[in-house]
C-alpha cells in the first residue's frame, strides 16, 4: 500500500516519520512510503521497496537461469504439462532436470 499522509501512516501502525526503515535503518522522514503485505505490515521508503523487489527478481532469475557452468535446477517444459494431464496424472509446470541432461 502506498502511504502518502499521516492518516495512512497511523493506520499502518507507525507512530511517526522518525521510525526507522527496516531495510536501510534510516528514519522514514518523508512521504511517499510503501507498506508491504507481509504479516508484520512493514513500512519502507519507496526506493528501499524497489531495491528489495529488484533483489528478489534477480534471485529468481538466477535460480531459473544460473550462470555457466552451473546447470539449471528446473526447466519449464510445456510438453510435460499437457502430457501429465492427459494421462490422468498430476500436471507439473516444473520438471526436475538432472545435470547429466
Task: Name 95's Cβ contacts closer than 8 Å, sequence gap at least 6.
Answer: 74, 75, 76, 77, 80
- The answer to whether 73 touches 101, Cβ cutoff 8 Å, is no
pLDDT single digits (tens) 24-75:
999 999 999 999 887 777 899 999 999 999 999 999 888 888 888 888 776 6
Distance (Å) of CA 8 to CA 1, 13, 35, 46, 47: 9, 9, 10, 15, 19
Q: Give 58 or 76, the one with higher predicted confidence.
A: 58
Q: What is the pLDDT of residue 51?
A: 94
pLDDT for the residue numbered 58: 92
What letter does residue 32 receive in the DSSP assignment?
-
Helix (H, G, I), strand (E, B) or coil at 78: helix
**Which whole number is the average pLDDT over 74-91?**
57
Amino acid at each position: 500500500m502506498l502511504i502518502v499522509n499521516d492518516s495512512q501512516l497511523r493506520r499502518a501502525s507507525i507512530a511517526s516519520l522518525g521510525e526507522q526503515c527496516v531495510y536501510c535503518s534510516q528514519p522514514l522522514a518523508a512521504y511517499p512510503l510503501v507498506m508491504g503485505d507481509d504479516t508484520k505490515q512493514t513500512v519502507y521508503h519507496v526506493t528501499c521497496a524497489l531495491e528489495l523487489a529488484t533483489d528478489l527478481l534477480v534471485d529468481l532469475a538466477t535460480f531459473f537461469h544460473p550462470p555457466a557452468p552451473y546447470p539449471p535446477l528446473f526447466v519449464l517444459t510445456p510438453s510435460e504439462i499437457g502430457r501429465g494431464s492427459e494421462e490422468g496424472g498430476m500436471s507439473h509446470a516444473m520438471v526436475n532436470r538432472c545435470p547429466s541432461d
